[in-house]
């Protein structure tokens, strides 16, 4: 926040930053942030935690080959100790070079949304077992469980709905 006095009154502005990578670099938002781990009541410090290895691309540099391979919104895998980590507005980001990106994660099976209109036909009358996850966008534990549900969906593709 930036604050200054104008005619005896306080004026406040909030400045946010936008990262625009250059050449063969991408900016990614870390998506699999490690939760604080406790082992036998001992809290493991942040520096001892394993760095996350998957992140969502939020900006792509100007390199033409990079633009063909990686797009904003892609999930990418990177090495444990790759990139430069920064924090802006309380969010953690990583700046990666093209050579530090190991793979693009493509979702094999999209999760399906059931509604009142299709619940009976797609869930109750399904020939395959159905895994239904009731969640809300404001629910923290629901958000934390999403990657697990997606992994199960990919692992059992064709065997469950």
pLDDT tens column, 119-146: 888 889 988 888 888 888 788 888 888 8
Question: Average pLDDT for residues 134-159, to the nearest whole number?
Answer: 81
Q: Measuring CA to CA, which residue among 42, 125, 47 is closest to residue 81? A: 47
Check residue 123 and give its pLDDT. 87
Chain segment 16-73, per-residue pLDDT in tens: 567 788 888 999 888 644 444 444 555 555 555 555 588 889 999 999 999 999 998 8
The pLDDT value recorded for residue 33 is 45
Dihedral of the CA atoms 92, 96, 102, 103 (nearest 10)?
70
Question: What confidence score (pLDDT) does residue 60 get?
Answer: 92
pLDDT confidence of residue 39: 46
pLDDT, position 47: 54
């Amino acid at each position: 926040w930036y604050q200054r006095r104008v005619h005896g009154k306080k004026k406040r502005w909030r400045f946010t930053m936008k990262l625009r990578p250059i050449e063969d670099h991408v900016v990614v938002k870390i998506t699999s942030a490690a939760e604080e781990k406790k082992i036998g009541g001992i809290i493991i410090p942040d520096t001892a935690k394993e760095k996350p290895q998957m992140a969502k691309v939020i900006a792509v540099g100007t390199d033409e080959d990079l633009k063909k391979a990686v797009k904003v919104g892609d999930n990418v895998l990177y090495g444990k100790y790759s990139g430069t980590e920064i924090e802006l507005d309380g969010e953690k980001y990583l700046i990666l070079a093209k050579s530090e990106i190991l793979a693009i994660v493509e979702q094999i099976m999209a999760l399906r949304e059931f509604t009142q209109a299709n619940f009976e036909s797609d869930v109750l009358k399904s020939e395959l077992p159905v895994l239904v996850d009731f969640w809300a966008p404001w629910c923290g534990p629901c958000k934390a469980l999403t990657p697990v549900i997606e992994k199960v969906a990919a692992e059992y593709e064709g065997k469950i709905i």
